[in-house]
Structure 1
């Protein structure tokens, strides 16, 4: 781990405890699971600000949890605690951890890949394994399937209000479970290659990890056609030339296009349509996209 960064953030106390806990999960809002986590945190300290990043992560989708956490975390002030619970291995021998990021945030989560994008794009200074005997809701010792409530919400709230220090959560952990990432890059003078990181959830557009800066670097022109090829585990799922556009209205309704999204990466969309469902395109490990000059 980066010891100099650790000293500055932890020992030097240069990050400020915000008394804020932000929750992310795949629980949805149809039952009381999220409310129960809020209740545990509120019981630890009624002065905490409790907020939600999202609880609409597709069930068991660790990749999307990892990306959504990275997408929103750094807009919150340093010292904010995030509780990230997408945990298909709950009750197994997978570890529970707290990570201190280079941005000065704390993330309480299972060690199952949910910190992959944070590690890649933000950086992690130090990881502590949660000692689950000491850091869990009183009376929950016989429960093995709701760590979000019994361990993660409880621990996150105690970290946020100062009832426990990061150094006292448990032993240092030197390794981290990570998902496989495909970096966005220029394969050659005419081809870009990368991953489909995530969907624009409401509209079904594909958000890639290929930087929009390549438009200038490769002297591409708006209005130009680029061959788009999308594969899943080496199998071609989509392969057509699409137009590079500044706005959706530059193509007819229902037609596809390439554009620069709000993160300044290249995206693929249908004008007033859903590209993902129309063409059966997903995200995560194994999904690769290339764009080549026609």
Structure 2
């Protein structure tokens, strides 16, 4: 039986995304396992404030954060409403980075970014862990797998390779693009009320002079930065996270347009 607690041979950085919040001991317990099994690997808390069970938002946090890590980092994402069910435990390799997650759509946005991709089903790795709670795989299964990979382990030693296109995709992860129009979904509403869409930066081409019509009752001027908009005016811009945003200068687009994560938005412009 494979031991996931073997002596580390590498020290890859670990990134951590969960919907656990900070009011309970769950995050601390996951990090305790990581520090015990991979003591030389730095752990970066990306976010533990994913809305409970909100896989789409967790997918966005993962895709937006991965480029800022070292090329060989291991990112663990645990937004797992199906914990204990027959959903797969998978690792996606993109180039030299590893992404450990339940196969429920969390990896969907990463799949659109290209690169050298390979996926493995690590569900059987649960058998290599001595004690597993039916309701806390993040601590008892995902964390040991992540520590093992960060310490130099290889996913092919834990489970079979599976087709990348067999990984679960969420309906809201891909926009519908047509000439002069797009149907997008809100991936995230940030602290300022900016609504991040599942439209990659650059997908609309040059933004100069572009005006976007919406069924939300107002037009959006495409701009480069928030300050290009008069105060209280809505606009569309390429945000810092690599995706397009609907924003209101010194206001809240989510409040003004009544938008929430998962909502769809139809955009139209002169092609």
TM interval, short-chain normalised: 0.7 to 0.9
Give the match for residue 264 of structure 2.
Answer: 287
Which one has a bigger Cα radius of gyration? 1
**What pairs up with 1:4-83 in 2 under 5 angstroms?**
18-83=11-76
Q: Could you tell me how far apart the structure 2 residues matched to 1:88 and 1:213 are?
A: 32
Closer, same or farther: CA 135–71 of 1 in aligned 2, 3 Å: farther
Closer, same or farther: CA 117–214 of 1 in aligned 2, 3 Å: closer
Deviates more, 1:260-269 or 1:45-54: 260-269
Equivalent of 2:213, from 195, 214, 227? 227
Given the alignment of the two structures, is residue 88 of structure 1 paired with residue 78 of structure 2, yes or no?
no
Q: Shift of residue 117 of structure 1?
A: 0.7
Given the alignment of the two structures, is residue 207 of structure 1 paired with residue 199 of structure 2, yes or no?
no
Give the match for residue 106 of structure 2.
Answer: 114
Q: Classify the secondary structure of the residue corresponding to 2:27.
A: helix
Q: Classify the secondary structure of the residue corresponding to 1:84.
A: strand
Given the alignment of the two structures, is residue 256 of structure 1 paired with residue 246 of structure 2, yes or no?
no
Native 8 Å contact 2:189 2:260 kept in 1 = no
Given the alignment of the two structures, is residue 166 of structure 1 paired with residue 175 of structure 2, yes or no?
no
Deviates more, 1:169-178 or 1:153-162: 169-178
Q: Could you tell me how far apart the structure 2 residues matched to 1:259 and 1:243 are?
A: 9
Q: Could you tell me how far apart the structure 2 residues matched to 1:210 and 1:192 are?
A: 15
Q: Shift of residue 263 of structure 1?
A: 4.9
Query: Please, which runs of 5 or more residues in structure 1 have no aligned partner?
Result: 1-15, 230-237
Q: Shift of residue 265 of structure 1?
A: 4.7
Deviates more, 1:80-89 or 1:167-176: 167-176
Native 8 Å contact 1:135 1:155 kept in 2 = no
Give the match for residue 3 of structure 2.
Answer: none
What are the Cα deviations for residues 88-140 of structure 1, in whole angstroms up to 9, with x where unaligned?
00111111112212x3111111111111111122453232333144333x3x2
What are the Cα deviations for residues 57-89 of structure 1, in whole angstroms up to 9, with x where unaligned?
111011111121111112212221111100000
Q: Could you tell me how far apart the structure 1 residues matched to 2:144 and 2:22 are?
A: 20
Q: Could you tell me how far apart the structure 2 residues matched to 1:48 and 1:210 are?
A: 31
Q: Could you tell me how far apart the structure 1 residues matched to 2:169 and 2:222 are?
A: 33
Deviates more, 1:175-184 or 1:81-90: 175-184
Give the match for residue 145 of structure 2.
Answer: 155
Q: What is the number of equivalent residue pairs in this alignment?
A: 258
